[in-house]
Structure 1
Protein backbone atom coordinates (compact mmCIF):
# COMPACT_ATOMS: atom_id res chain seq x y z
CA UNK A 1 0.00 0.00 0.00
CA UNK A 2 1.32 3.44 -0.92
CA UNK A 3 2.02 5.78 1.99
CA UNK A 4 1.73 9.53 1.65
CA UNK A 5 4.77 10.74 3.56
CA UNK A 6 3.02 14.01 4.40
CA UNK A 7 0.11 12.31 6.21
CA UNK A 8 1.83 12.05 9.60
CA UNK A 9 5.45 12.98 10.12
CA UNK A 10 7.82 14.40 12.70
CA UNK A 11 10.89 16.33 11.60
CA UNK A 12 13.57 16.45 14.30
CA UNK A 13 17.14 17.57 14.82
CA UNK A 14 19.81 17.28 17.49
CA UNK A 15 22.77 19.48 18.30
CA UNK A 16 25.30 17.40 20.22
CA UNK A 17 28.45 17.61 22.33
CA UNK A 18 30.37 15.57 19.75
CA UNK A 19 30.03 13.07 16.93
CA UNK A 20 30.00 9.71 18.73
CA UNK A 21 26.38 8.80 19.61
CA UNK A 22 27.50 6.11 22.05
CA UNK A 23 29.59 8.53 24.13
CA UNK A 24 28.43 12.09 23.46
CA UNK A 25 25.17 13.76 24.46
CA UNK A 26 22.37 15.75 22.86
CA UNK A 27 22.61 19.37 24.03
CA UNK A 28 19.71 20.84 22.05
CA UNK A 29 16.72 19.23 20.36
CA UNK A 30 13.78 20.37 18.29
CA UNK A 31 10.87 18.64 16.60
CA UNK A 32 7.84 19.61 14.53
CA UNK A 33 4.91 17.24 14.06
CA UNK A 34 2.91 17.63 10.85
CA UNK A 35 -0.38 15.84 10.09
CA UNK A 36 -1.77 16.08 6.54
CA UNK A 37 0.35 19.14 5.86
CA UNK A 38 -0.66 21.01 9.02
CA UNK A 39 1.75 21.63 11.91
CA UNK A 40 0.10 20.26 15.05
CA UNK A 41 2.93 20.51 17.60
CA UNK A 42 6.42 21.84 18.17
CA UNK A 43 9.03 21.10 20.82
CA UNK A 44 12.48 22.52 21.45
CA UNK A 45 14.78 22.69 24.42
CA UNK A 46 18.35 22.86 25.58
CA UNK A 47 19.39 19.70 27.41
CA UNK A 48 21.38 19.84 30.63
CA UNK A 49 24.93 18.64 30.01
CA UNK A 50 27.28 17.28 32.63
CA UNK A 51 30.52 18.55 31.17
CA UNK A 52 32.22 21.37 29.30
CA UNK A 53 31.60 21.92 25.61
CA UNK A 54 34.65 21.89 23.38
CA UNK A 55 35.22 25.23 21.59
CA UNK A 56 34.49 23.68 18.17
CA UNK A 57 30.89 22.88 19.17
CA UNK A 58 30.30 26.42 20.41
CA UNK A 59 31.88 27.80 17.24
CA UNK A 60 29.63 25.63 15.06
CA UNK A 61 26.34 26.05 16.93
CA UNK A 62 26.67 29.17 19.05
CA UNK A 63 25.64 27.08 22.07
CA UNK A 64 27.65 27.73 25.24
CA UNK A 65 27.88 26.04 28.64
CA UNK A 66 25.71 28.84 30.02
CA UNK A 67 22.87 27.87 27.68
CA UNK A 68 22.85 24.36 29.14
CA UNK A 69 22.92 25.19 32.86
CA UNK A 70 19.14 25.53 32.98
CA UNK A 71 18.47 23.00 30.23
CA UNK A 72 15.91 20.24 30.64
CA UNK A 73 17.07 17.00 32.24
CA UNK A 74 17.95 14.45 29.56
CA UNK A 75 15.31 11.90 30.56
CA UNK A 76 12.48 14.44 30.58
CA UNK A 77 13.65 15.96 27.29
CA UNK A 78 13.55 12.60 25.51
CA UNK A 79 10.22 11.64 27.07
CA UNK A 80 8.76 14.89 25.74
CA UNK A 81 10.33 14.33 22.35
CA UNK A 82 8.91 10.82 22.09
CA UNK A 83 5.44 12.13 22.93
CA UNK A 84 5.71 14.50 19.99
CA UNK A 85 7.03 11.74 17.75
CA UNK A 86 4.56 9.05 18.69
CA UNK A 87 5.27 5.31 18.25
CA UNK A 88 4.48 4.99 14.51
CA UNK A 89 4.93 8.48 13.07
CA UNK A 90 7.33 8.85 10.14
CA UNK A 91 10.54 10.44 11.45
CA UNK A 92 12.40 12.86 9.19
CA UNK A 93 15.93 14.26 9.50
CA UNK A 94 18.74 15.48 7.29
CA UNK A 95 21.62 13.05 7.78
CA UNK A 96 19.24 10.81 9.70
CA UNK A 97 21.98 8.24 10.32
CA UNK A 98 23.44 10.70 12.84
CA UNK A 99 20.21 11.77 14.57
CA UNK A 100 18.65 8.30 14.67
CA UNK A 101 21.79 6.89 16.31
CA UNK A 102 21.71 9.57 19.01
CA UNK A 103 17.99 8.87 19.53
CA UNK A 104 18.67 5.13 19.89
CA UNK A 105 21.56 5.46 22.35
CA UNK A 106 19.73 8.02 24.49
CA UNK A 107 16.54 5.94 24.65
CA UNK A 108 18.49 2.79 25.47
CA UNK A 109 20.50 4.58 28.14
CA UNK A 110 17.35 6.01 29.72
CA UNK A 111 14.95 3.06 29.50
CA UNK A 112 16.68 0.18 27.66
CA UNK A 113 14.35 0.42 24.68
CA UNK A 114 14.78 1.82 21.19
CA UNK A 115 12.34 3.02 18.53
CA UNK A 116 10.64 1.28 15.62
CA UNK A 117 9.30 4.27 13.70
CA UNK A 118 9.68 4.39 9.92
CA UNK A 119 11.94 7.21 8.77
CA UNK A 120 13.11 9.29 5.83
CA UNK A 121 16.55 10.81 5.40
CA UNK A 122 16.58 13.90 3.18
CA UNK A 123 20.36 13.56 2.82
CA UNK A 124 19.96 10.08 1.29
CA UNK A 125 17.36 11.48 -1.13
CA UNK A 126 19.67 14.39 -1.99
CA UNK A 127 22.50 11.98 -2.80
CA UNK A 128 20.17 10.00 -5.05
CA UNK A 129 18.68 12.98 -6.86
CA UNK A 130 21.20 15.83 -6.99
CA UNK A 131 24.89 16.53 -7.39
CA UNK A 132 27.33 17.21 -4.55
CA UNK A 133 27.34 19.08 -2.13
CA UNK A 134 24.40 17.83 -0.05
CA UNK A 135 24.56 19.67 3.29
CA UNK A 136 21.27 21.07 4.53
CA UNK A 137 22.45 24.59 3.73
CA UNK A 138 23.45 23.58 0.20
CA UNK A 139 20.19 21.72 -0.41
CA UNK A 140 18.11 24.63 0.85
CA UNK A 141 20.03 26.90 -1.52
CA UNK A 142 19.36 24.52 -4.42
CA UNK A 143 15.63 24.58 -3.68
CA UNK A 144 15.60 28.32 -2.90
CA UNK A 145 14.57 27.70 0.72
CA UNK A 146 15.47 30.33 3.30
CA UNK A 147 17.52 28.81 6.14
CA UNK A 148 18.26 31.15 9.04
CA UNK A 149 20.49 29.96 11.87
CA UNK A 150 21.88 26.71 10.47
CA UNK A 151 23.27 24.34 13.11
CA UNK A 152 20.59 25.32 15.59
CA UNK A 153 18.00 22.63 16.13
CA UNK A 154 14.75 24.45 15.33
CA UNK A 155 16.19 26.26 12.30
CA UNK A 156 17.46 22.95 10.90
CA UNK A 157 14.07 21.32 11.53
CA UNK A 158 12.26 24.09 9.68
CA UNK A 159 14.74 23.87 6.81
CA UNK A 160 14.46 20.08 6.61
CA UNK A 161 10.66 20.23 6.62
CA UNK A 162 10.64 22.75 3.76
CA UNK A 163 13.20 20.63 1.86
CA UNK A 164 11.12 17.48 2.34
CA UNK A 165 7.99 19.24 1.07
CA UNK A 166 9.83 20.62 -1.96
CA UNK A 167 11.32 17.24 -2.81
CA UNK A 168 7.95 15.52 -2.40
CA UNK A 169 6.25 18.07 -4.67
CA UNK A 170 8.95 17.43 -7.26
CA UNK A 171 8.44 13.66 -7.11
CA UNK A 172 6.80 11.56 -4.35
CA UNK A 173 9.21 10.26 -1.71
CA UNK A 174 7.47 7.03 -0.72
CA UNK A 175 10.26 4.87 -2.19
CA UNK A 176 12.78 6.47 0.19
CA UNK A 177 11.16 5.32 3.43
CA UNK A 178 13.65 3.45 5.68
CA UNK A 179 16.54 3.95 3.27
CA UNK A 180 19.95 5.22 4.38
CA UNK A 181 23.06 5.78 2.31
CA UNK A 182 26.66 6.11 3.42
CA UNK A 183 29.78 7.33 1.65
CA UNK A 184 31.60 4.16 0.60
CA UNK A 185 35.14 5.38 1.31
CA UNK A 186 34.19 6.06 4.97
CA UNK A 187 32.63 2.64 5.51
CA UNK A 188 29.31 1.62 7.04
CA UNK A 189 28.00 3.50 10.09
CA UNK A 190 28.48 1.73 13.43
CA UNK A 191 24.73 1.65 14.12
CA UNK A 192 21.59 1.92 12.02
CA UNK A 193 17.99 0.87 12.79
CA UNK A 194 17.29 -2.81 12.24
CA UNK A 195 14.65 -1.90 9.63
CA UNK A 196 17.00 0.36 7.62
CA UNK A 197 17.93 -0.46 4.03
CA UNK A 198 21.59 0.54 3.83
CA UNK A 199 23.40 1.30 0.58
CA UNK A 200 26.81 2.79 -0.32
CA UNK A 201 27.35 5.83 -2.51
CA UNK A 202 30.55 6.88 -4.25
CA UNK A 203 31.33 10.46 -3.24
CA UNK A 204 32.10 12.45 -6.38
CA UNK A 205 32.68 16.18 -6.29
Structure 2
Protein backbone atom coordinates (compact mmCIF):
# COMPACT_ATOMS: atom_id res chain seq x y z
CA UNK A 1 0.00 0.00 0.00
CA UNK A 2 1.44 3.35 -1.06
CA UNK A 3 2.19 5.78 1.76
CA UNK A 4 1.36 9.40 1.08
CA UNK A 5 3.25 12.25 2.65
CA UNK A 6 0.28 13.05 4.89
CA UNK A 7 0.26 9.54 6.39
CA UNK A 8 3.99 9.45 7.08
CA UNK A 9 6.28 11.16 9.59
CA UNK A 10 5.84 14.91 9.99
CA UNK A 11 7.36 17.54 12.24
CA UNK A 12 5.78 20.90 13.03
CA UNK A 13 7.40 24.17 14.14
CA UNK A 14 5.95 27.31 15.68
CA UNK A 15 7.12 30.39 17.59
CA UNK A 16 5.72 33.09 19.84
CA UNK A 17 7.46 36.43 19.51
CA UNK A 18 7.70 40.04 20.60
CA UNK A 19 5.78 41.21 17.52
CA UNK A 20 5.15 40.70 13.81
CA UNK A 21 8.17 42.52 12.34
CA UNK A 22 10.40 39.68 11.13
CA UNK A 23 13.38 41.99 10.74
CA UNK A 24 13.41 43.39 14.26
CA UNK A 25 11.20 41.35 16.59
CA UNK A 26 12.50 38.45 18.69
CA UNK A 27 11.58 34.88 19.52
CA UNK A 28 10.12 34.40 23.00
CA UNK A 29 9.13 30.74 22.78
CA UNK A 30 9.29 27.96 20.22
CA UNK A 31 8.08 24.40 19.84
CA UNK A 32 8.89 21.44 17.61
CA UNK A 33 6.36 18.59 17.47
CA UNK A 34 7.15 15.28 15.75
CA UNK A 35 4.62 12.56 14.86
CA UNK A 36 5.54 9.45 12.90
CA UNK A 37 2.00 8.60 11.69
CA UNK A 38 -1.58 9.85 12.07
CA UNK A 39 -2.84 9.06 15.55
CA UNK A 40 0.63 8.15 16.82
CA UNK A 41 2.02 9.79 19.98
CA UNK A 42 3.76 13.11 19.48
CA UNK A 43 7.18 14.12 20.74
CA UNK A 44 7.31 17.77 21.71
CA UNK A 45 10.34 19.96 22.41
CA UNK A 46 9.78 23.49 23.71
CA UNK A 47 12.04 26.47 24.31
CA UNK A 48 11.58 29.64 26.35
CA UNK A 49 13.95 32.49 25.47
CA UNK A 50 14.81 35.74 27.17
CA UNK A 51 14.72 37.97 24.07
CA UNK A 52 16.90 40.63 25.66
CA UNK A 53 14.26 43.31 25.03
CA UNK A 54 10.96 44.10 26.77
CA UNK A 55 7.95 42.14 25.53
CA UNK A 56 5.38 44.71 24.29
CA UNK A 57 1.92 44.77 25.83
CA UNK A 58 0.32 43.75 22.52
CA UNK A 59 2.44 40.63 22.17
CA UNK A 60 1.98 39.71 25.83
CA UNK A 61 -1.79 40.01 25.39
CA UNK A 62 -1.62 37.42 22.59
CA UNK A 63 0.62 34.74 24.10
CA UNK A 64 0.61 35.61 27.79
CA UNK A 65 4.39 35.43 28.25
CA UNK A 66 5.73 38.15 30.54
CA UNK A 67 9.09 39.78 31.01
CA UNK A 68 9.23 38.35 34.51
CA UNK A 69 8.71 34.83 33.24
CA UNK A 70 11.42 34.92 30.58
CA UNK A 71 13.89 36.54 32.97
CA UNK A 72 13.25 33.90 35.59
CA UNK A 73 12.88 30.81 33.40
CA UNK A 74 14.04 31.68 29.89
CA UNK A 75 17.49 30.97 28.53
CA UNK A 76 19.65 33.34 26.46
CA UNK A 77 18.14 33.95 23.05
CA UNK A 78 21.36 33.03 21.25
CA UNK A 79 21.40 29.62 22.90
CA UNK A 80 17.75 28.99 22.08
CA UNK A 81 17.89 29.95 18.41
CA UNK A 82 20.99 27.79 17.89
CA UNK A 83 19.21 24.80 19.44
CA UNK A 84 16.08 25.41 17.37
CA UNK A 85 18.10 25.53 14.14
CA UNK A 86 19.92 22.33 15.12
CA UNK A 87 16.60 20.61 15.88
CA UNK A 88 15.22 21.59 12.46
CA UNK A 89 18.41 20.29 10.87
CA UNK A 90 17.94 16.97 12.65
CA UNK A 91 14.42 16.65 11.23
CA UNK A 92 15.75 17.43 7.77
CA UNK A 93 18.40 14.71 8.12
CA UNK A 94 15.71 12.28 9.28
CA UNK A 95 13.71 13.02 6.14
CA UNK A 96 10.78 14.49 8.05
CA UNK A 97 8.88 17.31 6.31
CA UNK A 98 8.37 20.25 8.67
CA UNK A 99 4.95 21.91 8.90
CA UNK A 100 5.18 25.67 9.41
CA UNK A 101 1.97 27.68 9.33
CA UNK A 102 2.71 30.90 7.41
CA UNK A 103 6.30 29.77 6.97
CA UNK A 104 7.75 33.10 5.73
CA UNK A 105 6.98 34.59 9.15
CA UNK A 106 8.43 31.99 11.55
CA UNK A 107 11.36 30.91 9.38
CA UNK A 108 12.38 34.44 8.43
CA UNK A 109 12.26 35.56 12.05
CA UNK A 110 14.40 32.56 13.03
CA UNK A 111 16.84 33.43 10.24
CA UNK A 112 17.18 37.00 11.49
CA UNK A 113 17.73 35.77 15.04
CA UNK A 114 20.52 33.49 13.79
CA UNK A 115 22.10 36.43 11.99
CA UNK A 116 21.73 38.65 15.05
CA UNK A 117 23.26 36.24 17.55
CA UNK A 118 25.61 34.07 15.50
CA UNK A 119 26.21 35.70 12.12
CA UNK A 120 24.64 32.62 10.50
CA UNK A 121 21.72 32.22 8.13
CA UNK A 122 18.96 29.64 7.98
CA UNK A 123 19.24 29.55 4.20
CA UNK A 124 22.91 28.59 4.23
CA UNK A 125 23.03 26.72 7.53
CA UNK A 126 22.62 23.04 8.35
CA UNK A 127 18.81 23.30 8.61
CA UNK A 128 18.64 24.28 4.94
CA UNK A 129 20.22 21.01 3.85
CA UNK A 130 17.21 18.91 2.92
CA UNK A 131 14.66 20.94 4.92
CA UNK A 132 11.26 20.32 3.32
CA UNK A 133 8.50 22.69 4.43
CA UNK A 134 4.73 22.20 4.29
CA UNK A 135 2.64 25.33 4.87
CA UNK A 136 -1.06 24.62 5.48
CA UNK A 137 -1.95 28.21 4.65
CA UNK A 138 -0.46 27.90 1.17
CA UNK A 139 -1.89 24.42 0.65
CA UNK A 140 -5.39 25.49 1.63
CA UNK A 141 -5.30 28.56 -0.59
CA UNK A 142 -4.24 26.36 -3.51
CA UNK A 143 -6.91 23.68 -3.17
CA UNK A 144 -9.76 26.04 -2.19
CA UNK A 145 -8.70 29.38 -3.59
CA UNK A 146 -12.11 31.01 -3.93
CA UNK A 147 -13.40 30.35 -0.41
CA UNK A 148 -14.14 33.61 1.37
CA UNK A 149 -13.03 34.41 4.89
CA UNK A 150 -9.82 34.62 6.87
CA UNK A 151 -7.24 31.83 6.87
CA UNK A 152 -5.56 32.09 10.23
CA UNK A 153 -4.67 28.89 12.05
CA UNK A 154 -7.82 29.25 14.16
CA UNK A 155 -9.98 29.73 11.06
CA UNK A 156 -8.43 26.80 9.19
CA UNK A 157 -8.75 24.46 12.15
CA UNK A 158 -12.44 25.38 12.45
CA UNK A 159 -12.98 24.85 8.73
CA UNK A 160 -11.28 21.43 8.67
CA UNK A 161 -12.57 20.24 12.04
CA UNK A 162 -9.18 20.17 13.78
CA UNK A 163 -8.97 20.77 17.51
CA UNK A 164 -6.93 23.79 18.56
CA UNK A 165 -6.55 23.79 22.33
CA UNK A 166 -4.63 26.76 23.72
CA UNK A 167 -4.20 28.95 20.64
CA UNK A 168 -1.13 31.23 20.61
CA UNK A 169 0.92 28.79 22.65
CA UNK A 170 3.73 27.46 20.48
CA UNK A 171 3.32 23.73 21.22
CA UNK A 172 -0.47 23.88 20.88
CA UNK A 173 -0.26 25.78 17.59
CA UNK A 174 2.40 23.43 16.20
CA UNK A 175 0.34 20.37 17.17
CA UNK A 176 -2.79 21.77 15.55
CA UNK A 177 -0.92 22.83 12.39
CA UNK A 178 0.46 19.30 12.03
CA UNK A 179 -3.01 17.74 12.31
CA UNK A 180 -4.42 20.39 9.97
CA UNK A 181 -1.83 19.63 7.29
CA UNK A 182 -2.61 15.92 7.46
CA UNK A 183 -6.32 16.74 7.15
CA UNK A 184 -5.80 18.95 4.09
CA UNK A 185 -3.76 16.25 2.35
CA UNK A 186 -6.35 13.57 3.12
CA UNK A 187 -9.22 15.76 1.92
CA UNK A 188 -7.56 16.64 -1.38
CA UNK A 189 -5.66 13.49 -2.44
CA UNK A 190 -6.10 14.19 -6.15
CA UNK A 191 -4.52 17.63 -5.89
CA UNK A 192 -1.88 16.92 -3.27
CA UNK A 193 -1.60 13.23 -2.48
CA UNK A 194 0.16 12.18 -5.66
CA UNK A 195 3.10 14.50 -4.97
CA UNK A 196 6.04 13.85 -2.70
CA UNK A 197 6.71 16.27 0.14
CA UNK A 198 9.73 17.60 -1.76
CA UNK A 199 7.61 18.20 -4.87
CA UNK A 200 5.09 20.02 -2.71
CA UNK A 201 7.84 22.14 -1.19
CA UNK A 202 8.93 23.27 -4.64
CA UNK A 203 5.39 23.89 -5.87
CA UNK A 204 4.39 25.84 -2.79
CA UNK A 205 6.99 28.47 -3.66
CA UNK A 206 5.21 28.95 -7.01
CA UNK A 207 1.73 28.81 -5.48
CA UNK A 208 2.63 31.30 -2.76
CA UNK A 209 4.06 33.74 -5.30
CA UNK A 210 0.85 33.57 -7.33
CA UNK A 211 -1.26 34.01 -4.20
CA UNK A 212 0.87 36.96 -3.12
CA UNK A 213 0.53 38.61 -6.54
CA UNK A 214 -3.25 38.29 -6.27
CA UNK A 215 -3.22 39.91 -2.83
CA UNK A 216 -0.92 42.67 -4.07
CA UNK A 217 -3.31 43.39 -6.95
CA UNK A 218 -6.15 43.71 -4.46
CA UNK A 219 -4.09 46.09 -2.30
CA UNK A 220 -3.23 48.15 -5.38
CA UNK A 221 -6.86 48.38 -6.49
CA UNK A 222 -7.99 49.41 -3.00
CA UNK A 223 -5.28 52.04 -2.64
CA UNK A 224 -3.53 50.21 0.21
CA UNK A 225 0.23 50.99 0.25
CA UNK A 226 1.18 47.62 1.78
CA UNK A 227 3.65 45.52 -0.23
CA UNK A 228 3.47 41.72 -0.34
CA UNK A 229 6.65 39.63 -0.40
CA UNK A 230 6.55 36.84 -2.99
CA UNK A 231 9.27 34.76 -1.32
CA UNK A 232 8.52 31.43 0.34
CA UNK A 233 9.41 29.78 2.73
CA UNK A 234 12.05 32.36 3.68
CA UNK A 235 12.19 36.06 2.89
CA UNK A 236 15.60 37.22 1.69
CA UNK A 237 17.53 39.56 3.94
CA UNK A 238 17.91 43.11 2.68
CA UNK A 239 20.44 45.79 3.49
CA UNK A 240 19.78 49.43 4.23
CA UNK A 241 19.43 50.29 0.55
CA UNK A 242 16.52 47.86 0.20
CA UNK A 243 18.33 45.38 -2.06
CA UNK A 244 18.82 41.73 -1.19
CA UNK A 245 21.94 40.89 0.76
CA UNK A 246 23.97 38.70 -1.58
CA UNK A 247 27.67 37.92 -1.93
CA UNK A 248 29.44 40.81 -3.59
CA UNK A 249 26.56 43.22 -2.91
CA UNK A 250 29.04 46.07 -2.55
CA UNK A 251 26.68 48.57 -0.95
CA UNK A 252 28.00 50.87 1.80
CA UNK A 253 24.72 50.37 3.68
CA UNK A 254 25.54 46.67 4.03
CA UNK A 255 28.84 47.36 5.79
Mark yes or no: TM-score above 0.5: yes
SS at 1:86 equivalent: helix
The counterpart of 1:154, out of the listed 171, 175, 190, is: 171
Residue of structure 2 equivalent to 1:108:
115
User: Rg: which structure is higher?
Assistant: 2
Verify the 8 A CA contact 1:6 1:34 in the aligned structure 2: no
Q: Please show how residues 1-20 of structure 1 align to structure 2 within 5 Å.
A: 4=5, 6-20=7-21
Q: CA RMSD in A?
A: 2.7
Distance in 2 of aligned mates of 1:6 and 1:32: 16
Post-superposition CA distance 1:117-159 (Å, at most 9, x none): 2211111112223323211101111111111111111110011
Post-superposition CA distance 1:142-189 (Å, at most 9, x none): 111111111111110011011011111112444532424233234332
Residue of structure 2 equivalent to 1:41:
43
Name structure 2 gaps, 5 residues minimum. Answer: 220-225, 237-255
Distance in 2 of aligned mates of 1:6 and 1:68: 37
Post-superposition CA distance 1:69-97 (Å, at most 9, x none): 12122222223223332253422111111
Q: Please show how residues 19-98 of structure 1 align to structure 2 within 5 Å.
A: 19-37=20-38, 38=40, 41-69=43-71, 70-86=73-89, 88=92, 89-98=96-105
Residue of structure 2 equivalent to 1:120:
134
Report the CA distance between 1:105 and its aligned residue.
1.3
Distance in 2 of aligned mates of 1:83 and 1:91: 13
Distance in 1 of aligned mates of 2:177 and 2:66: 24
Give the 4+ runs in structure 1 shifted more than 6 A: none
Q: How many residues are matched?
A: 195
- 2:162 is the counterpart of 1:142: no
Name structure 1 gaps, 5 residues minimum. Answer: 197-205
SS at 2:22 equivalent: coil
SS at 1:32 equivalent: strand
Q: TM-score, normalised by structure 1?
A: 0.82
Moved more, 178-187 or 19-28: 178-187
Distance in 1 of aligned mates of 2:82 and 2:35: 19
Verify the 8 A CA contact 1:58 1:64 in the aligned structure 2: yes
Verify the 8 A CA contact 2:166 2:172 in the aligned structure 1: yes
Higher helix share: 2
Distance in 1 of aligned mates of 2:101 and 2:10: 14
Q: TM-score, normalised by structure 2?
A: 0.67
- 2:201 is the counterpart of 1:177: yes
